[in-house]
Structure 1
């Protein structure tokens, strides 16, 4: 009698524990001559009902919660080749060693068994439940192993092999970037296979990078037809109604980067004796984006706009982001206004929050605003109405900065860079991005508006989304203090962790060669800010109450903040709202926090890709660098000119060095390398595919 799938499943159920193939064959009475058929059945069943693991044992998938103690988790890959199995917030991650990561992708959902190890428990992956990646971007190569695509948009670069026929048909040139669909995933003794969906070209420019990043982080590059149709139907007519204040005659204006196409905020100021009346007008996006609409659903999924080099993937359709909502000059616009009366100590002594209609009188860039403040006759003539308001704004911003500093707000102010591109989107240089007084004016005004709005909602006790930042862990702060002491500064351990304590250390190093490093390490000590429905304060800003109200065109959290504020000022919170909204808002807060992390990673990744492309033209050249990491296998050094990190392998250093982990140093008989040291480095090798920058030390 021929064996069936049902026979195998019934036997495994009855057996109640994993079985080797040999025993399975014997117990089912399958002769050696028919073992091929049994293997075929087992292979088929592996896709749905059974798992093969540990030296070829077979077990039923449904046993994962029984005696075998199999755990389901998500794979988090690390560029160095290993990974972690993320099981949940309350459970410690399991280490996945490199040999297993060869067959896994970041984000895969797997079943695994915990294996005890001395240092950290390991995950023995038994089955991949769900693959995170179906299509990917990579570069086509050919060698003695065959034709393959080396994936660029996965954390660990996998090889996906192509058939000769496919390569010939697509006329693929070696080194071309392509989009590939994975048809067979890599497994022990099994190659990953795929087919080409799209050829992107040979050069890594802004278009290629945007495609790689969008696929790597699953970012949507287009809006749905439904959302676009909804946006097209929205009326461009702006009416002054009885529930909106008519501020169309007020001198308000926008200040943004030169490249900005959407304008979230406009500002206005009036001097009243020793007081300043500040108006922060924010685009009234929630007027247009109704809850539950296709536009709203897509904005929730995206969480925010993604700013890639020379390309923005907008949270809202173009018609809303750049036209209807954007506070463009000389156009009537719906706004949501936070009006504040501020005294000489930088304290808000009175405020009002209301819907309004405004007309921005000018669209200034940060540089133009600065030039008007310091005196530029040509610009003063071009924008006569904004000259005095800008001078008053400068005075108020300085008052607010002083008040913020007094309470202990931490200014990390890390150096930033921007890439310059040719018209075809090819990078040709990296230059410092300077933040100056005009940036600070807008920053201070947005912070005070965010605090005022948050405090209003907190005092009323309504459901709300806060922007929160927990205090850092004590052990991290102690390590930070040790590091600063190791650099030769007199510092003591804190009795209580306060923003003021961190701020004072940063003041000590201000203007010294170690300043950038200490700021960087202080930033590493901090926890990440996030969105929460509980108000736990903002440690970095030394603020007891904070939210995000000022950027609804590019952040979904802000749209929800506007919705809650409108309910509050119109007295529309119902008993049902008070019961149901906190859990709804918690879901929004979690999604926005998650997508913000993705945006940060994606934007940083895109910049690094283009910087590596630039550096491939500078191999052999020498640059100034600062040691940002000391590890047992070498030194991580940030090249100051390009703000990108590379590695000096310990094997290439001109002596025998030992690793001093406690003091973050590499020591030899003749030399010591410490965290924060400024050194000269030579670029030895740039691998754009593996995103590696190899450096050597120049004495």
Structure 2
């Protein structure tokens, strides 16, 4: 934040280094309004004798004149905003010789397959098709964009994609892993266009047992681009949509049958479905937040999720059985200490466990036991927090949350680099190509560490952008009252999540005037000395918003 003075110009960092001050040349700040935000480059670092000196690299603007929240985050994390010239040139030169590809691929262009994606999506990674076999089994095709055909190993595009690791989704934009010509056109499985795909064809019994599979390169032609809402309406019955897509009704209902069979098998295995409520932040064309709307996961979402999980499991199994290395998606067992902490918190909610376990079914039961209770979502969140983070590794340790013995990411290569790596390994395995096992394993280890870090960065960036924009939106609601649930209790107060907006704020202990409260740490609650009134984790409360710190994305609340 720039503060011009008569003889000098100061720059104050807007992040956690706000205590620092950077001296700028007075001339640089000429005509600049106080409070203007800029990217400042350090020329001399601070010492115990003098402050830091710097220069303005880029003026972003004044926060009162335009919304700079996402712009600040992009620069704070040094996110790429464009592609190197060599990548652009390389992508422009790409061409598909379809006739040549048809000679070596399976031609599935006549098959009735289609995509189901969010309304605003433009990068269609996956298409699905289904049929019931004469003997009553389900044959499922999962077609994935064949990105490895377009992005050659070691190319400029490949190096840039690896560096980014993932597509970063921000409320007003997406910072794509691949240039638009690839992500939204050549690779994207657009309707009524011939596209190169990598297909995983699976046959399941009516009990959900995998009877056989085949993995191959193909050419497909998606017959429709459905949104999740349209798919749901076709499943439940919508005469208008049924007239528009008469041929899709039967396959979608078959898909629903298979999804329910697969979900039951996974549930019996111990797969944990956290299904936490999500909210979508709506922004206008200027990037200003206008509303927070609940984002509902329904049958159509679950159909795609379960089909993608099946393909991911089959691919990991195939690579393992073929004796080839794989970049697994690993989710290890939770740390026993974290589980102990979780059970301590749950005991404060009146939940007692006789025999704790580190098996998925134990956590599945906790979530089931709280189903329908006011604390249901809080318990799901706390249980999720007790888990380890999933990450990428060539060493298979299974996937705890899915109760899966082996798992890899194969189904989203347009937006996730690990999937692209798995495609390449799979193609080598299918062709029986010799590889240097030791060298490949070492590379997968290094790549897995980098990609796991990039994934954490993407999550952090997305969360910070949403939290700050939610805080900006809530400025217009200062003085209003809301229902909320206590999500955290500390010695200095308690945190409340407003249910309408899924945004969190702090009620400071100093604002509780009806009594003097003490913090009962083991039970995660505040107790009034005179009244004995208890404020505990999971309690429903009514609060009023009294202040908003937009930069730190914090709400100040008082109990009503």
Relative to the length of structure 2, the TM-score reads 0.95
2:173 aligns with one of 302, 308, 311: 311
**Structure 1 residues 429, 538: closer, same or farther in 2, change over 3 A?**
same
Query: Following superposition of structure 1 onto structure 2, how do residues 270-419 of structure 1 map, counting pairs within 5 Å?
Result: 270-272=131-133, 273-419=135-281
Q: Separation in 2 of the partners of 1:259 and 1:145?
A: 51
Change (3 A) 1:270 1:568: same
**Cα displacement (A) at 1:692:** 2.9
Residue by residue, what CA displacement relative to the aligned partner does 1:422-459 show, whole Å, maximum 9, x if unpaired? Answer: 22221111111111111111001000110111111112
Alpha-carbon RMSD: 2.0
Distance in 2 of aligned mates of 1:697 and 1:303 = 44
2-side partners of 1:497 and 1:202: how far apart? 52
Contact map agreement 1:274 1:344 (CA 8 A) in 2: yes
1:625 to 470, 477, 484: 484
Within the alignment, does 1:506 sit opposite 2:367 as a pair?
yes
Tell me which residue corresponds to 1:439: 301
- Count of residue correspondences: 555
Are the aligned partners of 1:538 and 1:545 in contact in 2 as well (CA < 8 Å)?
yes
Match of 1:555 among 399, 408, 416: 416
Alignment partners' CA distance in 1, 2:447 and 2:249: 41
Residues 460-469 or 177-186, more deviating: 177-186
Distance change in 2, residues 1:182/1:389 (3 Å): same
Q: Which stretches in structure 2 are left out of the alignment for 5+ residues? A: none
1:228 aligned to 2:66? no
Name the CA shift for 1:146/1:686 in 2 (closer, same or farther; >3 Å): farther
Structure 1's unaligned 5+ residue stretches are: 1-138
Q: Which residue of 1 aligns with 2:506?
A: 647
Deviation track 1:550-594 (CA, whole Å, cap 9, x = no partner) reads 0000011000100010011111124xx223211111111111111
SS of 1:174 mapped into structure 2: coil
Q: Does 1:535 align with 2:396?
A: yes
- Contact kept, 8 Å, 1:470 with 1:527, in 2: the verdict is yes
On the 8 A contact 1:624/1:640 being kept in 2, the answer is yes
Partner SS, residue 628 of structure 1: strand
Among 154, 157, 175, the alignment partner of 2:18 is 157
Matches within 5 A, 1:213-252: 213-239=73-99, 240-252=101-113
**Highest RCO, 1 vs 2 (Cα 8 Å, sep ≥ 6):** 2
Aligned residue among 20, 41, 66 for 1:181: 41
| Residues 73 and 465 in structure 2, CA contact (< 8 A), matched pair in contact too | yes
**Which residue matches 1:255?**
116
Q: Which residue of 1 aligns with 2:433?
A: 572
Instruction: For residue 617 of structure 1, give the secondary structure of its aligned residue in structure 2.
Output: helix
Output the CA distance in 1 between the equivalents of 2:163 and 2:285. 32
- 2:449 paired residue among 567, 572, 590: 590
User: Distance between the aligned counterparts of 1:280 and 1:358, measured in 2?
Assistant: 11
Partner in structure 1 of residue 50 of structure 2: 190
Structure of higher CA gyration radius: 1
Question: For the residues of structure 1 that align with 2:136 and 2:389, how far apart are their CA atoms?
Answer: 38
1:200 to partner: Cα distance: 2.3
Work out the CA distance in 2 between the residues paired with 1:303 and 1:274: 42
CA contact (8 A) 1:469 1:537 kept: yes
Native 8 Å contact 1:269 1:277 kept in 2 = yes
CA distance in 2, matches of 1:227, 1:665: 56
Cα distance change of structure 1 residues 207 and 653 upon mapping to structure 2, 3 Å threshold: closer
SS of residue matched to 1:599: helix
Summarize deviations over 1:13-40 as a string: whole Å, max 9, x none.
Answer: xxxxxxxxxxxxxxxxxxxxxxxxxxxx
DSSP 3-state at the match of 2:223? strand
- Secondary structure of 2:302 counterpart: helix
| Alignment partners' CA distance in 1, 2:276 and 2:11 | 37
1:662 alignment counterpart: 522
Structure 1 residue matching 2:285: 3-state secondary structure: coil
